[in-house]
């Protein structure tokens, strides 16, 4: 990581040096060179370079100043005008591009592209769709093509989700290895999981993201969406999927993996999927510090499920040993529900033949759902920790 930070810092130092002064040397640096430096730096951001991420705002500001100081004739060249579009879509200031358009020096063939990008950044979606809709991203230089495909996808999401997904595929193809691909992957995973409901593609894209961008500063947002989609698609209920989850998350940080497995374990338990709850909680426990709050959560989810198996006695002892004060209010209620379920199992087995596993699962799920429903209706009760 240290070596990567040094590389990223070197790239940024070079880029910033090009734009520090307002002298003749700076004037000779073309907009194309400046945005190339920006895209290189943002590629380092996507790979998790903290120095590049921290310096990104300053780099954009320096480029803004260089663009504002450039002579009007600079913008008469199409490649420079398109460089301004790249700058804008990479986080640049709309006012800089507005001034360029007002100057009247942008080539006619590039006006719609620039005005469309500006409309998009200003939130004028209808205008942006009209101006950018007829542009074929494949006809543009690769430094810009992926960004335009990404924007077109964003503009079509609520109108034609299938086409929006196709444009994200195109954006990834045209801009591999950088921030555009990272953002396109995150966006596509969300769309496939939420709108298209395509579990196979969802899992394939998620595995690709976790393999390519596990250290991205935006990986946290991805994981939240990924976990929510897992639950919506009910992929977290089938224990046969667990080896896939374990393998595909191997490049993630320890904290991220632990959080994911705890979420899966809890969701599986509440749904009565005892086998998945057991293995996911067990994995989380291997990633949790002893006697931590997360360890208490893992023990709860695992023991609550095992109380319905032939490990009943040890599971009940584990449930009784868990300190509710280490749990969120939601999980403290879950602990109480699990203890109630265990008591009912004991009463049932002492009075009648053992229930079938699926009946036990249904009983556990029903009891836990009742506990959660009561908790949600109680006044002034909020979760004190992760769900």
What pLDDT is stored for residue 331 in this prediction?
94
Mean local confidence (pLDDT), 301-323: 92
What pLDDT is stored for residue 345 in this prediction?
72
More confident residue, 20 or 77: 77
Calculate the alpha carbon distances from 306 to 184, 300, 317, 354 in Å: 41, 10, 11, 15
Instruction: Check whether 255 has a pLDDT greater than 70.
Output: yes
What pLDDT is stored for residue 154 in this prediction?
97
pLDDT band at 232 (very low <50, low <70, confident <90, very high): confident
DSSP 70: S
Q: Any idea which of 58-62, 194-198, 355-359 has the lowest mean pLDDT? A: 355-359
Q: Which two tokens stand for residue 72?
A: 């009007």
**Measured distance CA(296)–CA(288) in Å, rounded:** 9
What pLDDT is stored for residue 6 in this prediction?
43
Mean pLDDT value across the chain: 85
Instruction: Check whether 335 has a pLDDT greater than 70.
Output: yes
What pLDDT is stored for residue 27 in this prediction?
47
**Measured distance CA(296)–CA(230) in Å, rounded:** 23
Alpha helices, DSSP H only, in the chain?
2-17, 24-27, 31-46, 50-69, 78-89, 94-103, 108-121, 125-132, 142-156, 161-174, 179-191, 199-212, 219-232, 242-248, 254-270, 274-286, 293-306, 312-321, 329-351, 357-377
More confident residue, 236 or 373: 236
pLDDT band at 347 (very low <50, low <70, confident <90, very high): low
Asked if 106 contacts 100 with a C-beta cutoff of 8 angstroms, the reply is: yes
Instruction: Check whether 387 has a pLDDT greater than 50.
Output: no
Q: Counting every residue, how long is the chain?
A: 387
Instruction: Check whether 162 has a pLDDT greater than 60.
Output: yes
What pLDDT is stored for residue 308 in this prediction?
84
Q: Which two tokens stand for residue 263?
A: 């979420």
Instruction: Summarize pLDDT for 82-114 with one digit per residue, the tens.
Output: 999 999 999 999 999 999 999 999 999 999 999
Instruction: Summarize pLDDT for 42-57 with one digit per residue, the tens.
Output: 999 999 999 999 999 9
Provide the percentage of residues in the chain whose pLDDT is more than 70.
82
Mean local confidence (pLDDT), 125-132: 97
Instruction: Summarize pLDDT for 355-381 with one digit per residue, the tens.
Output: 454 554 555 555 555 445 444 443 333
Tokens 């945005």 locate to 35
pLDDT band at 1 (very low <50, low <70, confident <90, very high): very low
Tokens 């070197």 locate to 10
What pLDDT is stored for residue 370 in this prediction?
45
Instruction: Summarize pLDDT for 174-191 with one digit per residue, the tens.
Output: 999 999 999 999 999 999
Instruction: Check whether 320 has a pLDDT greater than 70.
Output: yes
What pLDDT is stored for residue 12 in this prediction?
46
Instruction: Summarize pLDDT for 130-140 with one digit per residue, the tens.
Output: 999 999 999 99
Global pTM reads 0.79
Instruction: Check whether 337 has a pLDDT greater than 60.
Output: yes
Measured distance between the N- and C-terminal CA atoms of the chain, rounded to whole angstroms: 32
């Amino acid at each position: 990581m240290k070596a990567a930070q040094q590389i990223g810092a070197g790239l940024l130092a070079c880029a910033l040096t090009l734009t520090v002064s307002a002298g003749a040397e700076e004037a000779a640096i073309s907009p194309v060179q400046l945005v190339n430096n920006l895209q290189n730096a943002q590629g380092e951001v996507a790979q998790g370079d903290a120095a590049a991420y921290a310096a990104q705002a300053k780099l954009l500001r320096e480029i803004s100043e260089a663009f504002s100081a450039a002579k009007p004739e600079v913008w008469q060249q199409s490649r420079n005008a398109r460089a301004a579009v790249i700058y804008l879509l990479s986080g640049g200031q709309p006012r800089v591009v507005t001034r360029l358009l007002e100057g009247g020096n942008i080539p006619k063939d590039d006006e719609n592209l620039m005005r469309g990008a500006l409309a998009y950044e200003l939130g004028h979606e209808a205008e942006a769709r009209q101006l950018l809709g007829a542009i074929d991203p494949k006809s543009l230089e690769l430094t810009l093509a992926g960004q335009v495909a990404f924007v077109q996808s964003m503009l079509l999401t609520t109108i034609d989700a299938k086409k929006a997904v196709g444009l994200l595929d195109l954006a990834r193809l045209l801009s591999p290895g950088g921030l555009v691909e990272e953002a396109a992957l995150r966006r596509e995973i969300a769309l496939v999981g939420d709108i298209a409901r395509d579990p196979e593609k969802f899992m394939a894209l998620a595995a690709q993201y976790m393999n390519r961008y596990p250290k991205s500063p935006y990986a946290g947002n991805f994981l939240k969406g990924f976990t929510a989609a897992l639950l919506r698609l009910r992929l977290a209920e089938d224990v046969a999927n667990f080896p896939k989850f374990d393998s595909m998350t191997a490049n993630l940080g320890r904290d991220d993996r632990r959080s994911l497995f705890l979420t899966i374990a809890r969701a599986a338990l509440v749904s009565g999927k005892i086998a998945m709850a057991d293995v996911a909680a067990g994995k989380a426990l291997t990633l949790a510090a002893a006697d931590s709050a997360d360890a208490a959560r893992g023990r709860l989810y695992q023991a609550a499920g095992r109380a319905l198996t032939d490990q009943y006695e040890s599971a009940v002892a584990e449930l009784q040993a868990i300190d509710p004060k280490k749990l969120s209010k939601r999980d403290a209620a879950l602990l109480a529900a699990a203890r109630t379920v265990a008591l009912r199992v004991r009463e049932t087995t002492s009075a009648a033949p053992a229930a079938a596993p699926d009946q036990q699962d249904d009983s556990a799920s029903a009891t836990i759902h009742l506990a959660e429903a009561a908790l949600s209706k109680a006044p002034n009760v909020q979760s004190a920790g992760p769900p």
